[in-house]
Structure 1
């Protein structure tokens, strides 16, 4: 039986995916703030039959541009993009050998919707989306599909600082066209669908899961 690799497999969205999907998952987790995946990734050398990959690690680094340091940009890029590169380098040959495979990256509505205080994370997530499209083009003939899920604010521990008070929750709900904050289960449902992208003729796409925030006023 083929397996789907989850990087950041202890995240809220990953846990929702595992709970509601009948796939066989292999989870590899990283400590929050840790950039060194190399040691853990060596474990992948002994795992066979991978036909899916979801890369969950991300950051929410919201600061006025004047307060951002170069290290902020480096850290956000390292977690969101270079971490994904390290993982993919390890498993791309297995994905190519599968009879169709799917890779899903997690971006953010902020990559394409101009939001204040999002300069660093917007840059990192935009890079991730661009890389995904380039990889989709490169590996299309090998039937390895690359797609991106781009959520708006979702009720996860990573977003906890933005949802600490009732006022924060109400304010964020009011800014959303559907007047709600996303749930891990809603994002996980789209990820689960995209893990069948190679069967559904879908690659090189970015799927907003944001209550209409990226397209509606």
Structure 2
């Protein structure tokens, strides 16, 4: 049987409602821009209205897309997630979600980790992904299917020492991708993920510019360069669109090949904060938390 021809760029996602969480900046913004450029009716979601408003205006100006919308929501708040999904499904059937919202407040050697920061990071990355998938899958199923793309991290597969809950929570995202793909496939919903490596965004700041940590990252990358948000957006667009209609349950590394080697060495950053003994596994003083 001869495959159907693929839609032309600019029209491939026409009539598709799309939700992008974390869409106000960085990887999320790049993904939203890419979806809008191919015709999707994009709704941005994030916690800061001013940033979302600027992002929506920028996407409209650069892509010519009309009516890029935004909704303020915290992905750890189920009622707000449900409202964001409802808003994204209003202009057109919701068939594409890129879940880019995430982060971490948990760092340091394991014997000294702050338990509240650990829980908050798991809540943001793991529970937040679950909530968005839970509520987005409902209108997707009613629409006959769709694609959910979760932005994970290379820290999910390669240990990043002293990153606390971050890598653990992203590993949970990777498993949720596989679980969601297995359960939701009969409804026509595809669930995939992306593990970015070091990407030049405001979250990494000067880290992507110079210094021993960057040097170590580059030494671990066969392609030897820092990633750009558009590198991740291109993969997200592919996984969200009709070109990947027989792909589900995959987590794609977009990292210059970094996953082939080892996690980066952050000793130069963390040793002044915690001390060499702590990074070597020394226990904290009795009575400390």
Q: Structure 1 residue 88 and structure 2 residue 88: aligned?
A: no
Provide closer, same or farther for how the CA distance between residues 188 and 155 of structure 1 changes in structure 2, counting only shifts above 3 A: same
Task: Identify the match of residue 11 of structure 1 among 25, 32, 38.
Answer: 25
Matched residue SS, 1:117: coil
Following the alignment from structure 2 to structure 1, what is the Cα–Cα distance between the partners of residues 194 and 81? 25
Residue pair 1:104, 1:191 contacting (<8 A) in 2 also:
yes
Following the alignment from structure 1 to structure 2, what is the Cα–Cα distance between the partners of residues 181 and 37? 35
Provide closer, same or farther for how the CA distance between residues 59 and 165 of structure 1 changes in structure 2, counting only shifts above 3 A: same
Task: Identify the match of residue 154 of structure 1 among 188, 195, 199.
Answer: 199
Q: Structure 1 residue 183 and structure 2 residue 228: aligned?
A: yes
Residue pair 2:81, 2:131 contacting (<8 A) in 1 also:
no
Matches within 5 A, 1:20-169: 20=34, 21-22=37-38, 23-31=40-48, 35-36=76-77, 38-39=79-80, 41-46=82-87, 47-48=89-90, 49-60=93-104, 61-160=106-205, 162-163=207-208, 165-169=210-214
Following the alignment from structure 1 to structure 2, what is the Cα–Cα distance between the partners of residues 197 and 146? 13
Higher relative contact order (CA 8 A, sep 6+): 1
Larger radius of gyration: 2
1:128-151 per-residue CA deviation (whole Å, 9 max, x = no partner) reads 111110111001111100001001
Following the alignment from structure 1 to structure 2, what is the Cα–Cα distance between the partners of residues 53 and 4? 6
Structure 1: runs of 5 or more not aligned:
none
Count of matched residue pairs: 216
The two structures have a TM-score, normalised by structure 2, of 0.67
Following the alignment from structure 2 to structure 1, what is the Cα–Cα distance between the partners of residues 26 and 78? 20
